[in-house]
Amino acid sequence: MTRAEAYARSKYNEFTVDESVQLLDYIMKQMSGISRSKAKAILSGGGVTVDRQKVTQYDFELRSGMVVDIRKHKNNNEMQNRFVKILYEDKWLIIIEKAEGILSMGSNTNQFSVKSVLDQYFKKKHWKCTAHVVHRLDRETSGLMMYAKDRDTEQILENNWHDIVTDRRYVAVIEGSMEQDHGSVESWLKDNKSFITYSSPIDNGGKYALTHYNTLKRNELYSLVDLKLETGRKNQIRVHMQDLGHSVVGDAKYGSLVNPIRRLALHAYRLDFIHPVTRERMEFETLFPKNFVALVK
């Protein structure tokens, strides 16, 4: 029986790695006969574990001695939720991609949020852990988020966030044609009594904020901009784009006059960090939303 035939008959395969290789390439090699797209589908569907921890990164680096388990069929216990997609999970933390329209954390335990979705997922798996919020995205912002699975890991992340996170980037569609190809915005941000964040070029007792931007594409109506945060303040990107005179599309709260895609055009697409426990370098990146790209064609 060939390896491909054995794979077709079985829903579960276990392999021990004998050399350093990227995970996607390893799956295609071991499951000879399957296409690259099929291998990616198995990964994104949560069908692969490495040393008993689920991994979805295509470029995850395998080392000799690691044990890779590949499931052909989706486990019925895996989370299926249109608002939350699990990209990576281990004993200490979980990385997800959040859709727009859901809170990072509810104001009470019964409110629908990413945390409540994850807690239900853990409960269904009979795991004695809960999701601990270490950073947030606005309800209408989509993209990558990290949650700790225990209090100790949460404290490590919160107390060392700026040392642990090495790169955190967003993509946004902003109104108008951006004049500059790249630049930076710095100011002090402070909330007023109506919980609107306003910006000051001088220290007003608020929090210092610094955003770097790089214009990727533009037309007469919109610009696609890559944004890197040096600080992670509330509404930082939204306020800083307003400061430049180019509000984020769909952001009526901070000056936008149009909403052609019926959502806030802001997505957290990249998150790189040093694992708080294993000290491994972790890198996650998602595709830009298609409707973002369509606006600047």
Q: Which residues are catalytic?
A: 138
Token output for 226: 């890559």
CA distances from 78 to 50, 74, 86, 118, 227 (A): 16, 7, 9, 11, 33
3-state secondary structure 6-50: HHHHCCEEEEECCCCEEHHHHHHHHCCCCCHHHHHHHHHCCCEEE
Q: Which residues of 150-167 are buried (b: 16+ CB within 10 A; e: fewer)?
A: beebbebbeeebeebbee
Spell out where 128-221 has E strands: 132-133, 142-148, 165-175, 182-191, 197-200, 207-218
What element of type H or E holds 156?
Answer: helix 151-159
Residue 217 CA to residue 278 CA, distance in Å, equals: 38
If DSSP codes are grouped into helix, strand and coil, which group holds residue 80? coil
What element of type H or E holds 269?
Answer: strand 266-274
Separation of CA 212 from chain center: 19
If DSSP codes are grouped into helix, strand and coil, which group holds residue 111? coil
Residue 169 CA to residue 268 CA, distance in Å, equals: 6
Q: Determine the straight-line distance between the first and last CA of the chain, rounded to whole angstroms.
A: 50
Residue 42 and residue 36 in contact, taking contact as beta carbons nearer than 8 Å: no
